[in-house]
Amino acid sequence: MKIIVVLPTYNEAENLSNMVGALLNLPVANLSILVVDDNSPDGTGRIADELAADTPDRIEVIHRPGKQGLGKAYIHGFGEALARGADAVLQMDCDFSHSPSYIPEMVKTLDGCNCDIVIGSRYTKGGRLDEQWGIGRKLLSWWANSIYVRLILRTKAKDATGGFRLWRSEVLRGIDLNRIRSNGYVFQVETIYVAEKLDYKAVEIPIYFEDRRVGQSKMSFRVQLEAALRVWQVWWRHRKLKPSMRAELPAKEPPNEA
C-alpha cells in the first residue's frame, strides 16, 4: 500500500525536521511525505526543500504563494497525492499534537478492516486530551465535538473536528474534493460529514492529543466562533447527499500496448 502523508505547514520551522525524521523512521513500508507550505515567513519552506534534497525519493514539497488556509492546503495536497498514485493518504498536523507513533496502528487498521477511513480519535474510548488542559478547556472541546457537531450533523464519528486521518484514496475520489468548500477548521467537519453521507465507513482508534510543544497555534476565539457557525453551512450544503452520489471513479488506465 503506497501511503502519502500530506503535511500542511505554516511557520513550523521548529517542528518540521523532527516531524519528517519521525515519519521516515516509522516501521511502515512505502510511506512518503508531501509538505504543503504556504510561504511561511519563518522559512519552513526552505527547510522543507533541504529535507527533500536529502531524501528526494521520499519527500516532496508544494510551495503555495501565501497563507490561504488549512483547507485549501489540504485540497491541493490531497489532489497531488492522488495524482502520484497513493493508495491511502494520511493527514496530520506538523506540531506533534498528532503523534507519528500511532501511524503504524492506523495503517494496520486500514489494511485489515472493512472500512474506508481510520481516524486518530480524541473522543473514542481510550482517547485523551492534553493533561495540561484545565477542565474548562476540556469541556469546551468535548462539547463542541461530542454534542454540538454531532447533534447538528448526526455524524457517527466521535472525533469529527480532528485532523488526524488515514483515507483510502477511493474515498477522496468518491467524495470529490471539488465538493468541499470549507477552508478553515470546519474543513475537517465537512470532509467527514460528506464521507459519511456517501456511506463511507470510518473506524476510530484512540489517541492522546498533546498540545503543540513549540510554535504558535493558528487557532483563536474568533476562528472557533466562525467554525461553530459554519457547521450549519456544512449541513445545509450537503444535507441531501446520498450514497448514490459518490463521484464516478475514473476507469483504470488500459495497459500500454507496445
Ligand X SMILES: Nc1nc2c(ncn2[C@@H]2O[C@H](COP(=O)(O)OP(=O)(O)O)[C@@H](O)[C@H]2O)c(=O)[nH]1
Q: With binding defined as CB under 6 A, does residue 12 bind ligand X?
A: yes
Q: Which of 60, 93, 159, 190 binds ligand X (CB under 6 A)?
A: 93
Per-residue x/- track, 157-196, ligand X (CB under 6 A):
----------------------------------------
Q: With binding defined as CB under 6 A, does residue 73 bind ligand X?
A: yes
Q: With binding defined as CB under 6 A, does residue 46 bind ligand X?
A: no
Per-residue x/- track, 61-100, Mg ion (CB under 5 A):
--------------------------------x-x-x---
Buried b (16+ CB within 10 A) or exposed e, 63-79: ebeebebbbbbbbbbbe
Q: C-beta of 208: minimal distance to Mg ion in Å?
A: 14
Long-range contact list for 221-230, CB < 8 A, 24+ apart?
223/184, 223/185, 224/144, 224/185, 226/184, 227/161, 227/184, 227/185, 227/186, 227/189, 228/144, 228/148, 230/182, 230/184, 230/186
Q: C-beta of 218: minimal distance to Mg ion in Å?
A: 8
**Grid cell at residue 59:** 519527500
Q: With binding defined as CB under 6 A, does residue 78 bind ligand X?
A: no
Nearer to ligand X among residue 12 and residue 60 (C-beta): 12
**In this chain, which stretch among 9-17, 112-120, 171-179, 250-258 interacts with ligand X, using CB under 6 A?**
9-17
> What is d(CA 192, CA 208) in angstroms, rounded to the nearest whole number?
20
Q: C-beta of 253: minimal distance to Mg ion in Å?
A: 38
* Beta pairing partners, 8: 36
Instruction: Report which residue type is found at 106.
Output: M
Q: How many residues does the chain have?
A: 258
Q: Helix crossing, 16-24 with 44-54: angle to 10°?
A: 30
> What is d(CA 236, CA 98) in angstroms, rounded to the nearest whole number?
30
In the bound state, the residue with its beta carbon closest to ligand X is 217
Q: C-beta of 256: minimal distance to ligand X in Å?
A: 36
Other C-beta atoms lying within 10 Å of the C-beta of residue 81: 27
- 204 is in the binding site of which of ligand X, Mg ion, none (Cβ under 5 to 8 A by kind)? none
Q: With binding defined as CB under 6 A, does residue 91 bind ligand X?
A: no
**In this chain, which stretch among 28-36, 57-65, 212-220, 239-247 interacts with Mg ion, using CB under 5 A?**
212-220
Q: With binding defined as CB under 6 A, does residue 94 bind ligand X?
A: yes
State the residues that interact with Mg ion by CB under 5 A: 93, 95, 97, 212
State the residues that interact with ligand X by CB under 6 A: 8-10, 12, 36-38, 67-70, 73, 93-95, 97, 212, 217-219
